[in-house]
Amino acid sequence: MRIKHIETFILSDQLSESFFFSQWSYSERQICIVKITTDNGLSGWGEGYGPAPIIEAGIKQLTPILLGQNALEQEKLWFDMYRKTLDFARRGVLVASISALDIALWDLKGKAFGQPVSVLLGGQQRKRIMPYATGLYFSKSDKLASDLAVEAASYVKQGFKAIKMKVGLSIEIDVENIKTVRAMIGKHIKLMVDANHAYSLREAAELSRLIEPYDISWFEEPVSPEFYDQYRQLRSKTSIPIAGGECEYLRFGHHQLLKNESVDILQIDICSAGGLTEAKRVAALASTYGVEIVPHTWGTGIAFHAAMHFIANLEAIPGRLMSPEFYIEYDRTENGIREVLTTPKIEMREGYLKVPTGPGLGIEVNEEAIHQFRKS
Ligand code: CA
For residue 221, the CA-to-ligand 1 centroid distance in Å is: 7
Q: Which long-range contacts (CB under 8 A, 24 or more apart) does 94-97 make?
A: 94/58, 94/61, 94/62, 95/249, 95/250, 95/272, 95/273, 95/274, 96/48, 96/49, 96/50, 96/55, 96/58, 96/271, 96/272, 97/48, 97/55, 97/56, 97/57, 97/58, 97/59, 97/61, 97/62
Q: Is the pLDDT of residue 197 over 90?
A: yes
Same domain? 150 vs 294:
yes
Q: Which residues contact 105 (CB under 8 A, 6 or more apart)?
A: 36, 44, 46, 71, 74, 77
* Residue 90 banded pLDDT, cuts 50, 70, 90: confident
Same domain? 103 vs 124:
no
HSE toward the beta carbon, residue 204, CA cutoff 13 A: 31
Q: What is the CATH number of the domain that holds 222?
A: 3.20.20.120
Q: Is the pLDDT of residue 169 over 70?
A: yes
Q: Is the pLDDT of residue 351 over 90?
A: yes
Confidence (pLDDT) at 376: 67
**What are 246-271's pLDDT values in tens digits?**
999 999 999 999 999 999 999 999 99
For residue 235, the CA-to-ligand 1 centroid distance in Å is: 18
Same domain? 225 vs 302:
yes
Domain span holding position 74:
3-114+368-373
- Cα 211 to Cα 220: distance, rounded to the nearest angstrom: 13
Q: What is the CATH number of the domain that holds 14?
A: 3.30.390.10
Confidence (pLDDT) at 26: 87
**What are 287-297's pLDDT values in tens digits?**
999 999 999 99
Q: How many domains, in total, are found in the chain?
A: 2
For residue 25, the CA-to-ligand 1 centroid distance in Å is: 14
Does the active-site annotation cover 371? no
Same domain? 172 vs 211:
yes
Same domain? 154 vs 278:
yes
Annotated catalytic residue within 5, 197, 254, 296: 296
For residue 42, the CA-to-ligand 1 centroid distance in Å is: 34
Alpha helices in 114-213 (DSSP H): 117-120, 144-158, 171-185, 201-211
